[in-house]
């Protein structure tokens, strides 16, 4: 059927608000960030094109020390993938067996995801408070006075202390995704396996986990890219301190941008982060595809 011009115009008009927002706020800025990352710029004068010098400086500068930030982020990614996700999977598997109070558990586990990271950060700062915090209080009551610590203020413990709330907050998120996936497993598969005499562990291992692999893949991608991009909780808990012990790429980026007015270098970190997230997403996809092939 031949469409009149007005029909095409209408299509365009329907798309217009979304396109303006999307191109103006997401697509154009990515391209601009790419360009800024190749410039020296303090935000006031015009950007000076300097090629890849920012990238070179980023990876060699001792004062920026991006490697420490990346190492911290990678540690978080590893903890997230190998501790948080398996625990979330365990919770999801157990909840999908319909224990009493299934819905209540599910809703309680997911609740921390919805609470503002500022609130969560402030609460954990108080939990970690060396004098009045619940953690040290608990240790003292258990007679473990030696274990008490200035959790977020001590270079040795700050990183781990900052990671705990991050991992804690998103267990429920991954659990929910996996739970939804497990609910999608056709019941016939489970029943058939049970009739064949499989134990619960075998059903989980050979039926459910292979079936929900697409969701596990999404969870791993979220866990890894989320760790690389992590900002909110670190910013609230330590803002990269003490003495840069908890610095992650995003806190470095914000500090370079708004404390040192290095807009070019800040963009360089942003672009590096986007590329890293992209590369890791592809790598994880490849790992999951290979598994499928075997």
The answer to whether the CB of 270 falls within 8 A of the CB of 251 is: no
Smaller CB separation from other proteins, 70 or 215: 215
Q: Say whether residue 281 binds other proteins (CB under 8 A).
A: yes
Binding mask 189-208 for other proteins (x = CB under 8 A): --------------------
- State how far the Cα of 24 lies from the Cα of 188, in Å rounded to an integer: 49
Q: Say whether residue 119 binds other proteins (CB under 8 A).
A: yes
- State how far the Cα of 245 lies from the Cα of 252, in Å rounded to an integer: 12
The answer to whether the CB of 25 falls within 8 A of the CB of 235 is: no
Tell me which residues in 65-84 interact with other proteins (CB under 8 A). none
SS3 state of residue 113: helix
Q: Say whether residue 270 binds other proteins (CB under 8 A).
A: yes
Q: Say whether residue 49 binds other proteins (CB under 8 A).
A: no
Q: Say whether residue 282 binds other proteins (CB under 8 A).
A: no
Smaller CB separation from other proteins, 173 or 245: 173
Closest CA to 223 of 290, 286, 277, 162: 277
Q: Say whether residue 99 binds other proteins (CB under 8 A).
A: yes
- State how far the Cα of 106 lies from the Cα of 74, in Å rounded to an integer: 29
Q: Which one among 22, 49, 59, 206 touches other proteins, defined by CB under 8 A?
A: 22
DSSP assignment letter at 147: G
Q: Say whether residue 52 binds other proteins (CB under 8 A).
A: no
Tell me which residues in 126-155 interact with other proteins (CB under 8 A). 126-127, 131-132, 134, 137
User: How are beta strands 39-40 and 48-49 bridged, if at all?
Assistant: antiparallel
Q: Which one among 72, 76, 96, 109 touches other proteins, defined by CB under 8 A?
A: 109
Binding mask 204-233 for other proteins (x = CB under 8 A): -----------x--xx--x--x---x-xx-
- State how far the Cα of 220 lies from the Cα of 285, in Å rounded to an integer: 10
φ, ψ dihedrals at 77, nearest 5°: -60, -40
Q: Say whether residue 8 binds other proteins (CB under 8 A).
A: yes
Smaller CB separation from other proteins, 68 or 229: 229
Quick one: which segment of 50-58, 59-67, 146-154, 256-264 binds other proteins (CB under 8 A)? 256-264
Alpha helix (H) residue ranges in 5-128: 5-22, 28-36, 53-60, 66-79, 85-96, 102-114, 117-127
Q: How many residues at the interface with other proteins, by CB under 8 A?
A: 85
């Amino acid at each position: 059927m031949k469409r009149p011009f007005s029909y095409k115009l209408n299509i365009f008009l329907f798309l217009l608000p979304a396109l303006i927002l999307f191109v103006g706020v997401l697509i154009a800025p990515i391209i601009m960030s790419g360009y800024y990352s190749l410039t020296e710029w303090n935000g006031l004068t015009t950007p000076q094109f300097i090629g890849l010098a920012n990238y070179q400086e980023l990876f060699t500068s001792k004062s920026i020390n991006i490697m420490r930030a990346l190492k911290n982020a990678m540690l978080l990614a590893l903890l997230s993938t190998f501790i948080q996700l398996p625990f979330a999977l365990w919770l999801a598997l157990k909840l999908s067996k319909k224990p009493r109070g299934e819905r209540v558990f599910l809703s309680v586990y997911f609740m921390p995801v919805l609470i503002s990271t500022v609130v969560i950060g402030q609460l954990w700062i108080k939990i970690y408070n060396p004098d009045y915090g619940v953690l040290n209080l608990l240790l003292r009551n258990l007679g473990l006075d030696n274990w008490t610590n200035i959790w977020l203020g001590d270079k040795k413990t700050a990183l781990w202390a900052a990671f705990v709330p991050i991992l804690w907050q998103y267990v429920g998120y991954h659990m929910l995704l996996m739970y939804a996936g497990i609910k999608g497993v056709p019941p016939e598969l489970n029943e058939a396996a049970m009739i064949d005499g499989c134990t619960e562990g075998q059903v989980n291992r050979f039926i459910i986990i292979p079936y929900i692999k697409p969701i596990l893949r999404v969870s791993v991608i979220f866990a890894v890219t989320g760790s690389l991009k992590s900002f909110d909780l670190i910013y609230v808990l330590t803002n990269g301190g003490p003495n840069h012990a908890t610095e992650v790429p995003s806190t470095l980026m914000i500090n370079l941008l708004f404390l040192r007015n290095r807009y070019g270098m800040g963009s360089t970190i942003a672009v590096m982060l986007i590329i890293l997230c992209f590369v890791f997403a592809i790598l994880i996809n490849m790992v999951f595809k290979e598994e499928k092939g075997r």
